Structure 1
Amino acid sequence: MHRIEFLDLAAFVRVAESQSFQEAAQALHLSQPALSRRLQKLEETLGAKLLERTTRRTWLTEIGKEYLPRARRMLEDYESSIQGIRELKTHQKGTVTIACIPTAAFYFLPSVIRVFNEAYPGIRIRILDVSANEGLERVVSGDADFGINMISAQHPDVSFTPLLRDPFVLAMRSDHPLAALTEVNWQDLQNVRLITVSRDSGNRMLLDSALSGHGIRLNGFYEVQHLSTSLGLVECGLGVAILPRMAMPDAEHENLCSRELPPPHIERTIGLVRRDGEPLSSTAELFIEMLLKRWRE
């Protein structure tokens, strides 16, 4: 059985619409015998007669009348797919998917997305605000084009490009007794209710690792899953929390403030995570180029 080709459908639709082999052949830049062969092949493939023809006129059979709308849709779908590829190539359409740790999503992305959307309004941005470990897996599996993550979230199949260092600070209410101190010692934290994130959190593992070598152990009174939850408890006056500075609201916040931690100074490195050995889509490359330019200025 023959395969239906684009020119076969185009020949049939053009003849059906013009009811003239001569006009259709000229429009398709084919000779009339070549046009006839196209139509004959299409009819053989379908196993049905589509057109009747005399020396004076051409008309559709009943089957031809029924098939014409389908043929038109098939041509439109084909042309739409070609146009879609062109739009992707010229960055008129597309999607960029980013796996980003929640604390960095607000800090890194809005300003870049705003500029990117102005330049490429047809490209959609999909943000997966997930934990460090899940974000890494999303990049490795290909669910995300790239990620913004911590350097501690490493994998043999990804590369990491550092963007900035984010120190940990002590977060508290502005009216908390520790807020009156210009310097805070680790001993000061023994007498307060400390809000920590769970031990399987990337931030908690980084903290525990950095402190264990100095014999410092965090004694959490409350344990939560997300940094945003710990900030909520801090704002309610339930305790203090150690978290990345990036997670803190603006310095002008009416209820919350932060203090630097005593040595050992702890920080996390935030950067770009990409799969090794696999090319990114051109739209993802464009976004990364804009992101890197924004954070190197």
Structure 2
Amino acid sequence: MPILEPDTSGIAAAVEAARNAEVAVVAVGDKAGMFGHGTSGEGCDAVDLRLPGAQADLVEAVLATGTPTVLLVVSGRPYSLGAFADRAAAIVQAFMPGAEGGMAMAGVLSGRVNPTGKLPVGIPNHPGGQPGTYIAPPLGWFSDGVSNLDPRPLFPFGHGSSYTSFEISDLQLSASEVPVDGELTVTATVANTGDRAGAEVVQVYLSDRTGQVVRPLKQLVAYAKVPLEAGESRTVTFGLHADLMSFTGLAKTRIVEPGAMEVKVGASSEDTPLVGAFTLTGAVREVGEGRVLVPSISLG
């Protein structure tokens, strides 16, 4: 099917093929191009986040056959997939994977490769949803009374599925109080609870509860991909320097400010089962050049 035109001429053949198959793989997404000669690229904008052309009609028609359907999205932007998510057997998102992308996707679809990737952006639920960042202020996220629209994504930043399953547990913080020029050590245990080898990306988010300016609800400060055999568990330790908790204050300088902080550890920005609290102590410290921007990470 053409991507740019609303051409439905090939849908009937696709439906017939799906009806005679055990599994259907429907590839949708973008055509790379520039200045209107594609659907993704410089000068190729979109009115909303519906799949281009008649691709949504194709997906709906194949899903209606009842054949288990894998939706393969090869795109340059995150499209809204909420209309299909509950009915598709699986969704694979590939952001313009390049020349070797076909082989990589074949490995994932066949099960030869156990995927370990995580989303660098949220996948919108509805066509008007924004492919926005997870970094939002308190009133920028969904809560009763703020808006009648729910801006939360269908799949959040940091989300990713696997052919095995994982569990993250046993959060430990090195201290309940950390100097504004000190370091906090965060330790957690990640276990492969499935029946095949895989890797989980353990993610650490911080929340500033008392900042002098509006601060994000959460902010990713560390992550580690932890390879695990079936049934194996390992500990992962993050060293978080106070510089990672700095922000631009009212005086327009970067500072670390004393106050209550919260740390969350999990598998995505919205899947953080481990929550701990600590307090930054001391006087406000201005942070100049040479600040520590990278956490230390070790696996046990």
**TM-score when normalising by structure 1:** 0.24
Query: Which has the larger Rg?
Result: 1
Greater helix proportion: 1
Greater relative contact order: 1 or 2 (C-alpha under 8 angstroms, separation 6 or more)?
1
More strand by share: 2
TM-score calculated relative to the size of structure 2: 0.24
